[in-house]
Amino acid sequence: MLFKILVILHTLGATVWTGGHLVLAATVLPRALKERNPDRIHQFEEQFEGFGLAALLMQVITGLSLTWIYFPRLQDFLALDSFLSVYIAIKLGLLLGTVLLAVHARFFIIPNLTKETLNSLAYHIVGVTTLAVLFVVFGAGIRLGGLG
Ligand code: HEM
């Protein structure tokens, strides 16, 4: 039962994190770039930041809990000798990439967001969104018993 609840919460969190970034990348960002108007991004950011971060936090908690259920002993996970452990390791790599991109954007680009720095933020948004979609691809891959 706990396992099923964790999978449902994890999937729900995925809709928020990945869905939110797809909306940002596919609708808000193109408009902001067209108008050269950083305010559009600021507005979205203000609305989505807390909710999005809560969703990402939930992904980490539920994801690690699921991993613990699959691999009660850490050394079995670290052996990386099954598609499951490899896909989970890839997801941890995606998480590291996401955190690095998000921290860089949040603390170095967004505070000084102008028309000139809008392009560099655009690359970050596309990057985090790509990673968010890959989370879903590899997550679904786990459920499907591998993507090959
Ligand atoms: C924003 C980040 C993440 C997203 C969008 C995401 C998305 C997904 C999706 C869509 C699934 C398929 C659910 C299903 O149909 O069963 C999944 C499964 C899974 N994810 Fe994530 N995930 C994220 C982060 C993580 C993290 C950080 C971990 C921990 C290492 C993790 C571990 C797992 C595991 C173990 C499964 C398999 C659950 C099952 O048996 O189906 N995920 N993920």
Q: What is the per-residue DSSP string for 134-145?
A: HHHHHHHHHHTT
Q: Whose CA is nearest to atom 21 of ligand 1?
A: 139
Does a structural domain hold residue 59? yes
How much of the chain, in percent, has pLDDT values that exceed 90?
89
Is there a contact between 80 and 86 (Cβ–Cβ < 8 Å)? yes
Q: How far is the CA of 35 from the centre of ligand 1 (A)?
A: 36
Among 91, 92, 93, 123, residue whose Cα is nearest residue 105: 123
Among 9, 111, 110, residue whose Cα is nearest residue 65: 9
Longest dimension (CA), the chain: 53
Give the model confidence (pLDDT) of 33-58 as tens digits: 999 999 999 899 999 999 999 999 99
* Number of domains forming the structure of the chain: 1
Ligand 1 contacts CB of residue 64 (under 6 A): yes
Residue 136 has pLDDT above 90, yes or no: yes
Does a structural domain hold residue 89? yes
Among 2, 5, 3, 16, residue whose Cα is nearest residue 135: 16
Does a structural domain hold residue 13? yes
Does a structural domain hold residue 148? no
Q: How far is the CA of 125 from the centre of ligand 1 (A)?
A: 21
Instruction: Report, as an integer, the average pLDDT of 119-147.
Output: 96
Cβ-based neighbours of 8, under 8 Å, separated by 6 or more: none
Q: What span, in angstroms and rounded, lies between the C-alpha atoms of 36 and 38?
A: 6
pLDDT at 112: 85
Q: Whose CA is nearest to atom 18 of ligand 1?
A: 139
Q: How far is the CA of 81 from the centre of ligand 1 (A)?
A: 19
Q: Among all chains, which residue has been given the structure tokens 């699921």?
A: 66
Q: Whose CA is nearest to atom 16 of ligand 1?
A: 143
Residue range of the domain that includes 70: 2-143
Ligand 1 contacts CB of residue 20 (under 6 A): no
Question: What does the buried/exposed string (b/e) look like for 91-118 if buried means 16 or more CB atoms within 10 Å of the residue's CB?
Answer: beebbeebeebbeebeeeebeebeeeeb
Does a structural domain hold residue 91? yes
Give the model confidence (pLDDT) of 60-107 as tens digits: 999 999 999 999 999 999 999 999 999 999 999 999 999 999 999 889
pLDDT at 101: 96
